[in-house]
């Protein structure tokens, strides 16, 4: 009899524990990082629940919906873009959904291959600050962080060091915050593996970013980036001119103005970025490279191509100048 009583008491204590633990456990969020979710106008509770579950914010869809319905949150959901911290619970979420998000984030999209000047103009376009202040902030960031590459031939010191991506800011953040975010994101691209690989290739990070910016501007599609990087390394190994049109354009425009077509006269431009006149890697990046372009430089395709020219589906690669010239003539005829 005593054993039965103890067993019943144990079950009762266990039940009470479970009853107290489960609601508390299911009411905490499971995300370990900040999660951003956009809730469109007219979204239902089911839709919001699926979004939160998909992003691993909530632990139980059933519990979340049950609690939301019991508090009548399902009738009060406000549209907007929400940021969910890892330390909030579902009741904090309910409060946000009910009040709405008055601080809509300002979206800043930096396309791959943008120059620093273009990034500054984009910052100004979305009202996060003036282009002039942004550029000034990049110079200040350069000095504060102690970058040690030579800058005497650069138009912008932090060119190529700001990662192209889509970012979310708010009105309280200034241009210094934006520069720090973009530069820090680029730094994170360079994992220990990438840093060690650069050393194996006897390249500095500055040289990697410079070559990656050339690949970014030259490649017609992602699949050919490693092949283009291979051509650059082959030409450098043979002490050949790189002959990249994008560097000529960058030099003539001093990192700001753009020309749509490179003329023979442009190839005589004295800029140190002119890879038709100066052998070797240019003095710095000419644009913001993506991770795929950086990866292509660190792991270039091994081949014996020395030339490439646009064709019907991306670039055509050649080993000899004669082959290259023939393919180039084919391409130029399509432009007539």
Q: Reply yes or no on whether the pLDDT at 17 is more than 50.
A: no
Residue 9, domain member (yes or no): no
**Domain identity same for 255 and 316:** no
Domain boundary among 37, 69, 99: 99
**280 or 334: whose pLDDT is higher?**
280
Is 4 among the domain residues?
no
In a domain, 1, yes or no: no
Residue 10 lies in a domain: no
Q: Average pLDDT in the 211-240 region?
A: 96
* Structural domain boundaries enclosing 64: 21-99
pLDDT at 13: 44
- Together in a domain, 265 and 145: yes
The percent of residues in the chain predicted with pLDDT above 70, rounded, is: 88
Same domain, 198 and 56: no
Is 68's pLDDT higher than 70?
yes
Residues 27 and 70 both lie in one domain: yes
Is residue 85 predicted with pLDDT exceeding 90? no
Quick one: 119 and 240 in the same domain?
yes
More confident call, 294 vs 32: 294
- 271-305, pLDDT tens digit by residue? 999 999 999 999 999 999 999 999 999 999 999 99
Q: pLDDT (tens digit, 9 = 90+) per residue, 93-151?
A: 888 888 876 566 788 999 999 999 999 999 999 999 999 999 999 999 999 999 999 99
The answer to whether residues 214 and 177 belong to one domain is yes
Same domain (yes/no): 180, 298? yes
Q: Is residue 62 part of a domain?
A: yes
Q: Based on the domain organization, do 68 and 129 belong to the same domain?
A: no
How many domains does one find in the chain?
3
Q: Which of 59, 82, 99 is the last residue of a domain?
A: 99
Whether residue 176 lies inside any domain: the answer is yes
Q: Say if 237 falls within a structural domain.
A: yes
CATH number at residue 27: 3.30.1490.480
Residue 137 sits in the same domain as residue 188: yes
Three state DSSP letters for the chain: CHHHHHHHHHHHHHHHHHHHHHHHHHCECCCCCCEEEEECCCCCHHHHHHHHHHCCCCCCHHHHHHHHHHCCHHHCCCCEEEEECCCCEHHHHHHHHHHCCCCCCEEEECCCCCCHHHHHHHHHHCCCCCHHHHHHHHHHHHHHHCCCCCCCCCCCCCCCCCCCCEEEECCCCCHHHHHHHHHHHHHHHCCHHHHHHHHHCCCCHHHHHHHHHHHHHHCCCHHHHHHHHHHHHHHHHCCCCCCCHHHHHHHHCCCCCCCCCCCHHHHHCCCCCCCCCCCCCCCCCCCCCCHHHHHHHHCCCCCCCCEEEEECCEEEEECCHHHHHHHHHHHHHHCC
Residues 110 and 42 in one domain: no
| Residues 251, 276 within the same domain | yes
Residues 175 and 227 in one domain: yes
Among 73, 99, 125, the domain boundary falls at 99
pLDDT at position 39 is 84
In a domain, 314, yes or no: yes
């Amino acid at each position: 009899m005593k054993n039965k009583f103890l067993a019943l008491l144990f079950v009762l204590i266990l039940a009470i524990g479970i009853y107290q633990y489960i609601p508390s456990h299911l009411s905490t969020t499971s995300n370990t990082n900040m999660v951003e979710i956009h809730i469109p106008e007219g979204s239902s509770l089911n839709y919001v629940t699926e979004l939160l579950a998909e992003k691993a914010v909530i632990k139980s869809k059933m519990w979340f919906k049950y609690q939301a319905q019991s508090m009548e949150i399902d009738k009060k959901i406000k549209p907007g873009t929400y940021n969910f911290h890892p330390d909030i619970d579902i009741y904090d979420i309910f409060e946000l959904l009910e009040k709405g998000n008055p601080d809509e984030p300002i979206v800043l999209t930096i396309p791959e291959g943008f120059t620093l000047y273009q990034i500054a103009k984009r910052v100004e376009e979305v009202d996060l600050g003036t282009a002039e202040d942004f550029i000034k902030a990049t110079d200040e960031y350069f000095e504060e962080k102690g970058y040690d590459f030579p800058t005497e031939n650069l138009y912008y010191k932090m060119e190529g060091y700001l990662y192209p991506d889509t970012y979310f800011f708010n009105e309280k953040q200034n241009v210094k915050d934006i520069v720090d975010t973009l530069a820090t994101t680029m730094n994170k691209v360079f994992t220990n593996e990438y840093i060690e690989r650069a050393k194996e290739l006897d390249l500095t990070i500055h040289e990697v970013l410079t070559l990656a910016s050339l690949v970014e501007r030259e490649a017609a599609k992602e699949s050919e980036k490693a092949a283009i990087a291979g051509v650059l390394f082959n030409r450098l190994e043979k002490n050949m001119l790189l002959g990249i049109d994008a560097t000529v354009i960058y030099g003539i425009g001093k990192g700001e103005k753009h020309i749509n077509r490179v003329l023979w006269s442009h190839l005589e431009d004295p800029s140190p970025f002119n890879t038709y006149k100066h052998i070797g890697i240019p003095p710095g990046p000419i644009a913001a490279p993506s991770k795929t372009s950086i990866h292509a430089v660190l792991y270039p395709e091994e081949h014996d191509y020395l030339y490439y020219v646009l064709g019907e589906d991306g670039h055509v690669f050649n080993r000899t100048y004669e082959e290259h010239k023939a393919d180039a003539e084919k391409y130029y005829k399509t432009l007539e």
